[in-house]
């Protein structure tokens, strides 16, 4: 893609000047800050549907993969205007300015500030009390291979289908898989969280040799942690098609269920291969209702 030049050392991407464009963010394969900006410009139409107008946290690595990294929820001094504030009442009762991104300029503006990863809320700013997704993050213990993760994802899919809930898988770009259920904006955070907790807990009780539903490190040895905690207010999850701040610059990529069985790693996609992917490569379910009736059905085993 042709990139306009603002000056000799500050190319323009989506109208945003990229300082230090040759800074190496990933060494193998070599990916610079400018490469990252170009990637997010190319992928903007695929990323923004799951990112735009949601509060977002940014994982920033201003000096690249080998330097300092920090997770940022609030805009800092000097942030571009394309990254907009959204006022949110926190659990303490006080209000705070969070960040939201609405367009490609905001996406590239975040990269200019050293962002590699984007982590949105499950709710949009106009209805922060109503999440639009249910997600189970399947996080395997270090000793487990990806085949166990694939099997776990299929198991969660089948459990959801018992309640007429359709899902799709996303490779996390790390070690695991996210199983995602698109939701209509009808259920509260409490309802979504309780359903996720119950389903994860029952799975762990029925297959304790395979799963655990608690964060305890000691309990997770040789098992897969079904992380249901991403379904509470204020929690975030990696955005589809976001690059991950890991060696090799892997990308979180949604895939079809039929395709998942042939994939051998959660970090199977890099920047170049991810650019060839899109939402048309899988059948994304329409948003569904999650009601208290389903919770009652789940709690009674049926």
Whether 236 contacts 5, CB under 8 Å: no
Q: Which CATH superfamily is domain 130-302 in?
A: DNA primase, PRIM domain (3.90.920.10)
Q: What is the pLDDT of residues 222-258, one digit of tens each?
A: 899 999 999 999 999 999 999 999 999 999 999 999 9
Q: Which CATH superfamily is domain 4-120 in?
A: DNA primase, PRIM domain (3.90.920.10)
92 has pLDDT over 90: no
Given this model, what pLDDT does residue 296 score? 83
Nearest alpha-carbon partner for 249 in 236, 267, 232, 233: 267
Given this model, what pLDDT does residue 167 score? 98
Q: What is the pLDDT of residues 142-179, one digit of tens each?
A: 889 999 999 999 999 999 999 999 999 999 999 999 99
Given this model, what pLDDT does residue 8 score? 55
219 has pLDDT over 90: no
Rounded Cα distance between 36 and 59, Å, is: 14
Position with higher pLDDT, 40 vs 10:
40
Contacts of 228 (CB under 8 A, 6+ apart): 136, 193, 196, 197, 199, 200, 213
- Categorize the per-residue pLDDT at 261 as very low, low, confident or very high, splitting at 50, 70 and 90: very high
Q: What is the pLDDT of residues 36-63, one digit of tens each?
A: 999 999 999 999 999 999 999 999 999 9
CA distances from 48 to 64, 101, 271 (A): 24, 8, 17
Given this model, what pLDDT does residue 5 score? 47
Helix and strand element counts for the chain (H, E): 7, 16
The tokens describing 112, both together, are 């200019």
Rounded Cα distance between 128 and 287, Å, is: 17
pLDDT over 70, % of the chain: 97
Whether 255 contacts 263, CB under 8 Å: yes
Taking residues 269-280, report their average pLDDT. Answer: 97
Domain borders along the chain are 4-120, 130-302
Rounded Cα distance between 130 and 121, Å, is: 11
Given this model, what pLDDT does residue 220 score? 80
The tokens describing 293, both together, are 């009736």
Alpha-carbon torsion, ordered 203, 208, 210, 216, to 10 deg: 90
**Torsion 245-247-249-253 (CA) sign:** negative
Given this model, what pLDDT does residue 302 score? 61
Nearest alpha-carbon partner for 56 in 106, 107, 102, 118: 118
Nearest alpha-carbon partner for 185 in 102, 89, 290, 56: 290
Average pLDDT over the chain reads 92
The tokens describing 87, both together, are 């006022």
- Rg from Cα positions in the chain: 19
HSE-CB at 238 with a 13 A cutoff on CA atoms is 27
Given this model, what pLDDT does residue 6 score? 46
pLDDT over 90, % of the chain: 81
Q: Against a cut of 0.85, is the pTM above it? A: yes
Rounded Cα distance between 127 and 54, Å, is: 10
Nearest alpha-carbon partner for 216 in 204, 229, 225, 206: 225
Rounded Cα distance between 73 and 55, Å, is: 8
- Fold match, 4-120 / 130-302: yes
Position with higher pLDDT, 95 vs 297:
95
Taking residues 91-111, report their average pLDDT. Answer: 91
Given this model, what pLDDT does residue 164 score? 94
Asked if omega into 29 is within 30° of 0 (cis), the reply is yes
């Amino acid at each position: 893609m042709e990139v306009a030049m603002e000056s000799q050392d500050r190319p323009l991407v989506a109208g945003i000047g990229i300082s230090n464009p040759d800074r190496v963010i990933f060494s193998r394969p070599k990916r610079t800050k400018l490469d990252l900006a170009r990637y997010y410009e190319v992928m903007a139409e695929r990323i923004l549907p799951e990112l735009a107008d949601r509060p977002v946290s940014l994982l920033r690595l201003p000096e690249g993969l080998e330097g300092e990294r920090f997770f940022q929820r609030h805009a800092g001094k000097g942030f571009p205007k394309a990254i907009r504030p959204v006022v949110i009442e926190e659990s303490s009762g006080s209000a705070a300015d969070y960040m939201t991104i609405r367009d490609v300029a905001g996406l590239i503006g975040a990269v200019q500030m050293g962002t590699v990863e984007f982590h949105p809320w499950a709710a949009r700013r106009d209805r922060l009390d109503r999440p639009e997704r249910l997600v189970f993050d399947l996080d395997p213990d270090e000793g487990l291979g990806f085949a166990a993760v694939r099997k776990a994802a299929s198991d969660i899919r089948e459990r959801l289908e018992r309640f007429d809930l359709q899902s799709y898988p996303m490779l996390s770009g790390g070690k695991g898989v996210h199983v995602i259920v698109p939701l209509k904006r009808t259920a509260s955070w409490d309802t979504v969280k309780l359903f996720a907790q119950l389903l994860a807990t029952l799975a762990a009780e029925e297959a304790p040799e395979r799963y655990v539903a608690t964060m305890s490190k000691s309990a997770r040895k040789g098992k897969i942690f079904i992380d249901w905690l991403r379904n509470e207010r204020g929690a975030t999850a990696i955005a589809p098609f976001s690059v991950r701040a890991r060696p090799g610059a892997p990308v979180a990529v949604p895939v079809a269920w039929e395709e998942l069985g042939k994939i051998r790693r959660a970090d199977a996609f890099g920047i170049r291969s991810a650019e060839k992917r899109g939402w048309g490569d899988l059948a994304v379910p329409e948003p569904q209702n999650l009601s208290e009736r389903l919770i009652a059905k789940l709690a009674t085993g049926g």
